[in-house]
Amino acid sequence: MKLITFLNNNSMHLGAVITDEVISCEGNFGIPNNIIDFLNQGEPAKQALKKLINSGENRIPLSNVKLQAPVPRPGKFLGIALNYADHINETQLEKPQYPQFFTKQSSCVIGNGMAIHRPMVSDKLDYEGELAFIIGQRCRHVPLEKANQVIAGYTIVNDVSVRDWQIRSPTWMLGKSFDTHGPMGPWIVTSDEIEDPHNLNINTWIDDELRQDSNTKHMIFNCFEMVEYLSKAMTLEPGDVIATGTPSGVGVKMKPRGYMKPGQTVKIEIEGIGTLSNPVIEEPASQF
């Protein structure tokens, strides 16, 4: 299934995409109407949604709804650093001995089609096309051979980075967490539809220029190893989002620098999932 969070008539709902239609969970179908509650309910919710899909009821044209991030406000939004060998080569940094994670604040999350802001305080705005996975059940100390069982599905994340702010802190958190700098979507493809998350083509374009061209098989630490490692330290919960790193081709390593500029569009495509596309604009003036 392709699970989405969407706006319809100014209210937010959970649904599933079938070709060009949305099957909405709104109504008395015994299905939670938000992604966190849906994942928390587990298999009963999945079976109820499959029954609704087969019924042919509650269908809306996909073109009539506005997609949101599939997990609009994840409890944890984590990224892994330096997880592709070619990206390590272009950064001239050492290959990590252990997975190195950082936090993106959940307030940075936006959905497909929403605008990325070039911040007032920096023009060093970079893209990072990444596969991400979503935790489907509360878990701790997950053995490697069972890690696939706690992943609900996969989506696309643009780990937008403000490079000068990123290097100001060893944690990278500020430079990774500006508002609008966590594009995610367009949906979650459930794990049963992804045969091998570690063999998916991943590409990033700025307008029509291909910047990143790789495959998830080049990860250093795979998704299941990340689950095993993280769950040794913390309880993972339904809706937690873990971005799995970016391949080479980021703007900071281009000559001249290939930072994103207002008026451009960044598009990330991952095989078996779809396309995440976001325009870039100047940060609007804010009031406080």
What's the pLDDT score for residue 30?
A: 86
What confidence tier does 244 reach under pLDDT thresholds 50, 70, 90? very high
Give the alpha-carbon dihedral of 126, 179, 218, 204, to 10 degrees.
Answer: -50
Task: Please name every residue paired with 117 in a beta bridge, in sequence order, or none if there are none.
Answer: 281
Cβ neighbours of residue 253 closer than 8 Å, sequence gap 6 or more? 90, 91
What's the pLDDT score for residue 89?
A: 84
- Going by C-alpha positions, the residue among 195, 132, 189, 128 that lies closest to residue 163 is 128
With beta carbons less than 8 A apart as the criterion, state whether 122 and 165 touch. Answer: yes
Q: Does pTM top 0.95 for this prediction?
A: yes
Res 87 pLDDT > 90: no
Cβ neighbours of residue 188 closer than 8 Å, sequence gap 6 or more? 2, 3, 4, 35, 70, 71, 134, 152, 153, 154, 155
* Mean pLDDT across 218-233: 98
What's the pLDDT score for residue 27?
A: 82
Tell me, letter by letter, the H, E, C secondary structure of the chain.
CEEEEEEECCEEEEEEEECCEEEECCCCCCCCCCHHHHHHHCHHHHHHHHHHHHHCCCEEEHHHCEECCCCCCCCCEEEEECCEHHHHHHHCCCCCCCCEEEECCHHHEECCCCCEEECCCCCCEECCEEEEEEECCCECCCCHHHHHHHEEEEEEEECCEEHHHHCCCCCCHHHHCCCCCEEEEEEEEEHHHCCCCCCCEEEEEECCEEEEEEEHHHECCCHHHHHHHHHHHCCECCCCEEECCCCCCCHHHCCCCCCCCCCCEEEEEECCCEEEEEEEEECCCCCC
Q: Which amino acid makes up residue 279?
A: P
- Going by C-alpha positions, the residue among 221, 219, 217, 218 that lies closest to residue 98 is 221
What's the pLDDT score for residue 169?
A: 87
* Mean pLDDT across 111-138: 98
Structure tokens at 147: 């890690």
What's the pLDDT score for residue 148?
A: 97
What's the pLDDT score for residue 259?
A: 98
- CB atoms inside a 10 Å sphere around CB 93: 11
- Cα distances (Å, whole numbers) of residue 276 to 1, 113, 188, 214: 17, 8, 12, 16
Q: What is the pLDDT of residues 190-221, one digit of tens each?
A: 999 999 999 999 999 999 999 999 999 999 99
Give Cα 195 to chain centroid, integer Å: 19
User: Scanning the structure block, which residue is given the tokens 């890690």?
Assistant: 147
**What is the CB-side half-sphere exposure of residue 179 using CA atoms within 13 A?**
10
Q: What is the pLDDT of residues 167-180, one digit of tens each?
A: 998 899 999 999 99
Sketch out the chain's domains with CATH numbers: 2-67 (no CATH), 77-282 (3.90.850.10)
Task: Please name every residue paired with 145 in a beta bridge, in sequence order, or none if there are none.
Answer: none
Res 262 pLDDT > 80: yes
